[in-house]
Amino acid sequence: MKVKRNTLLLLACLVWSAAGFNILRIGLMVYPEYLNVLNCLLSVIVFGVFQKFIFGQLVKKHTSRINAYLEEKQFFLKFFDTKSFIVMAVMMTGGIGLRAGRLVPERFIAVFYTGLGASLLLAGLLFGRNYGRAASGAAVQNKHSIKENK
């Protein structure tokens, strides 16, 4: 199934936002028992590290790649490249394994998942912002084309 280039940004928005929301929810569900200044600070640090070094760059990279496609219609899964799908699968498998196997303490789940989930959610929202910008830019371009054709 092929979709417009800009729709790939919307799909990335939905996928990353859903993943981020779910991971953030898991972290927040166990957080009340561990709520203190140190843990909040650690969650903020996790958020910052993931946002600066991973997800912030990922949003820029994939937005640029999507915008560079020459053909307007693309296969709907091209919102990510193969490497990103592999990274997502490894992260999901690792996260499920950590929780199911009780390999880490709940405090870790609370602190780490909250920071990670918030960063993933922000990445999704940034893809959404990029979609909105691309859609509004396309609308302006279409408006100018219509005026020129009259």
8 has a pLDDT exceeding 60: yes
Asked if 131 contacts 19 with a C-beta cutoff of 8 angstroms, the reply is: no
Instruction: List % helix, strand, coil for the chain (3-state, nearest 5).
Output: 85, 5, 10
139 has a pLDDT exceeding 70: no
Choice between 26 and 148, residue whose per-residue pLDDT is larger: 26
> Taking the model in full, what pTM does it have?
0.87
Output the pLDDT for position 83. 87
Output the pLDDT for position 143. 55
Three-class secondary structure of residue 101 per DSSP: coil
Choice between 141 and 64, residue whose per-residue pLDDT is larger: 64
| CA 28, 33, 37, 41 torsion-angle sign | negative
What pLDDT digit, counting tens, does each position of 57-101 carry?
999 999 999 999 999 999 999 999 898 889 889 988 998 998 889
Output the pLDDT for position 37. 97
pLDDT average, residue stretch 98-115:
94
34 has a pLDDT exceeding 80: yes
Give the CA distances from residue 56 to residues 5, 24, 132, in Å, rounded to whole numbers and listed in that order.
20, 17, 17
Place of tokens 């991971």: 23
141 has a pLDDT exceeding 70: no
